[in-house]
Chain A
Amino acid sequence: QVQLVESGGGVVQPGRSLRLSCAASGFTFTSYVIHWVRQAPDKGLEWVTFIQKDGGSKFYADSVKGRFTISRDTSKNTLYLQMNSLRAEDTAMYYCAREFDGFDMWGQGTMVTVS
């Protein structure tokens, strides 16, 4: 089954850390760029980060630069988002999304609450 499944969300205090996972299945993980996109409660979508297909360059939104780190484990077909120094404004549903002619596949998301 072709899908992305996020996990790792929860409630965390400000200043603490959390690591999210995005498990890919049903497609060749290394052939696609996969992004993290978040959505604060009752707000719009905000792009967070992605890593190039070759695992080289990483790009971050200014709002998370220096605090969040994207990585991946190709042996597990899994993308990670290490979130440090969390703030209340990081509270959001975090989605991973595959990029193929736009964001063509999305996971169901994992909720992060910083409080």
Chain B
Amino acid sequence: QAGLTQPPSVSMGLRQTATLTCTGNNNNVDFQGAIWLQQHQGHPPKLLSYRSNDRPSGISERFSASRSGNTASLTITGLQSEDEADYYCSSWDRSLNAWVFGGGTKLTVL
């Protein structure tokens, strides 16, 4: 099943802003929006945002998501060392009747 497209890696400096992208199509991201997950090495994923721009309680305001057409974005402001992790987007695909994931972006905080 075709997945969503994410850049494999992004590197930004401490206290800077990182924007991660996730590209799908009109059967998934454009139709349903995307969710974003953060995963630290050796841990299960954690939900950061849903419906493209809502945050679960307890998630820092430094994380904000948006969507424009087929592309979803996650912006992390004021980067901290603990933000270094893998980030995944995901969406329900109405044509595949399946959830699809992006390949993940490894964020390095320099």
Residues on A close to B: CB < 8 A? 35, 44-47, 50, 59-63, 95, 97, 101-104, 106-109
Contacts and interface: CB of A to CB of B under 8 A. Distances in A.
Given A62-B1, A103-B47, A104-B47, 19 more contacts: A44-B86, A44-B101, A44-B104, A45-B39, A46-B101, A47-B90, A47-B101, A59-B98, A61-B1, A62-B98, A95-B44, A95-B45, A102-B49, A102-B51, A102-B90, A103-B35, A103-B90, A104-B56, A108-B44
Contacts of A106: 44-46
A45 B1 contact: no
Interface of B: 1, 35, 37, 39, 44-47, 49-51, 54, 56, 86, 88, 90, 97-104
Q: B56, B99, B104: which has the most chain A beta carbons within 10 Å?
A: B99
Contacts, number: 59
22 contacts: A44-B88, A44-B103, A44-B104, A45-B101, A47-B98, A60-B98, A61-B1, A61-B98, A62-B1, A95-B44, A97-B45, A101-B47, A101-B50, A101-B54, A102-B47, A102-B50, A102-B51, A103-B45, A103-B90, A106-B45, A106-B46, A109-B44
